[in-house]
Amino acid sequence: MLGAVLGGGAGAQSVPRVEISVPQVVPPDPPAGPQVRGVDVLANGTIRDLMRSGFPARLHYHAELWTASGVFNTLESSRDWDIIARYDPLTKHFRAARVNPENAPERVEMLGDFDHATALDSTLADPYVVPLIPRERSRRYYYVVALDVDVVSLSDLDEVERWLRGELRPAVRGQRNPGGVVGRGIRTLFLRLIGAEKRHYEARTKIFRSG
């Protein structure tokens, strides 16, 4: 039952997941942060269909560095960043950008322009080195990373956010037809029902000793 992993047959579909690994420290190189990659996180029929229908996908990463010394573990530092991926129906290309890397809120790094979804998946699976480096040497640490994937309506982003906060909470600009509020709210609820809700992935490293 729970806890049992039943393997698939030959050619089994790759499971969406986030991975985090600690690179080996090779002196005299300075220690580097962990490598994080999202594997096949957008390789989902529902998500792909939503993206082709004009809904951008947002991948929110949250990485933490914990010390494993003493009775209780303590959080030493954390980092957040996002990857936004969108399908352009005119060019029929996927585009992706990383935002808020290294806690620079205005900085946008374009990851590329892809003519196939597999190319986008491949880029998203490239390791990203997170600047989370242990402050002390010879202490026991581990990393934790969480990835939330959601697909949101480009034009109704504010309404979606309010729905997510308050269950039934669309909001309308003063210029819009207030009668459309309910329609947009139903559309947003529909997004959640059809699988546009947030997908959550987590991964942890083993405990390691900082060099």
Partner 1 sequence: MKVYWVLALGWAASVSAQDSSALPREVIDEAVTRYNAPAALRAVGRLTVAADQDIKGDVAVIDGPVTVAGHVGGRLTVINGDLQLIAGATVDSGVLVVGGTLAAPGGDSVRVGGAALVFAQKLRYHLEGERLVVSTETDPIKNWWTRWLHRRDRPNYTDITLTSAHTYNRVEGLPIFVGPSIRRALPWTNGSLSVDALGIVRTENFAEWNKQTFGYRFGADMRGGEDPRLTLALRAYDEVAPVENWQLGDGEVGLASFFFRRDYRDYFERQGASGAVSVVNDARTSLTLSLADEHWYPRAERNPFALIPTDDGWRPNPTLDDGNLRLVALTARIDTRNSETDIWSGWYAIANLEYGNGHISHFGARSPPEAALIPVTPVPGDVNYTRLFLDLRRYNRLAPNAQFNVRAVIAGWLAGDPLPLERRFSVGGPGTIPGFDFRSAGDDAPDVASCSAVPAAPAGRPAECERIILGQAEYRTAFHFGLRMFGRRIENDGAWVVFTDAGRGWLVGPRLGALQYPASTFPNLRTFMTDAGLGVTIDPIGVYVAKALSRPEERPHFVIRVRRTF
20, 203 contact by CB (below 8 A): yes
Q: In angstroms, what CA-CA distances link 198 with 14, 18, 68, 183, 193?
A: 19, 14, 30, 22, 11
- Nearer to partner 1 by C-beta: 28 or 179? 179
Which residues would be at the binding site for partner 1 (CB under 8 A)?
Answer: 2-6, 8, 12-13, 15, 17, 56, 62, 64, 66, 68, 71-75, 78, 84, 86, 88, 95-97, 99, 105-106, 108-110, 142, 144, 146, 154, 157-158, 161-162, 166-174, 178, 181-182, 185, 200, 202, 204, 206-207
- Nearer to partner 1 by C-beta: 97 or 133? 97
Provide the Cα torsion 34, 112, 99, 203; round to 10°.
-30
The distance of closest approach from Cβ of residue 172 to partner 1 in the complex, given in angstroms and rounded to an integer, is 5
136 C-beta neighbours (distance < 10 Å), count = 10
The distance of closest approach from Cβ of residue 40 to partner 1 in the complex, given in angstroms and rounded to an integer, is 11
The distance of closest approach from Cβ of residue 30 to partner 1 in the complex, given in angstroms and rounded to an integer, is 21
Q: Based on the number of CB atoms within 10 Å of its own CB, is 18 exposed (0-12), middle (13-18) or buried (19 or more)?
A: buried
First to last CA, the chain: 40
- Nearer to partner 1 by C-beta: 25 or 157? 157
The distance of closest approach from Cβ of residue 127 to partner 1 in the complex, given in angstroms and rounded to an integer, is 20
* Amino acid making up residue 151: V
- Nearer to partner 1 by C-beta: 86 or 187? 86
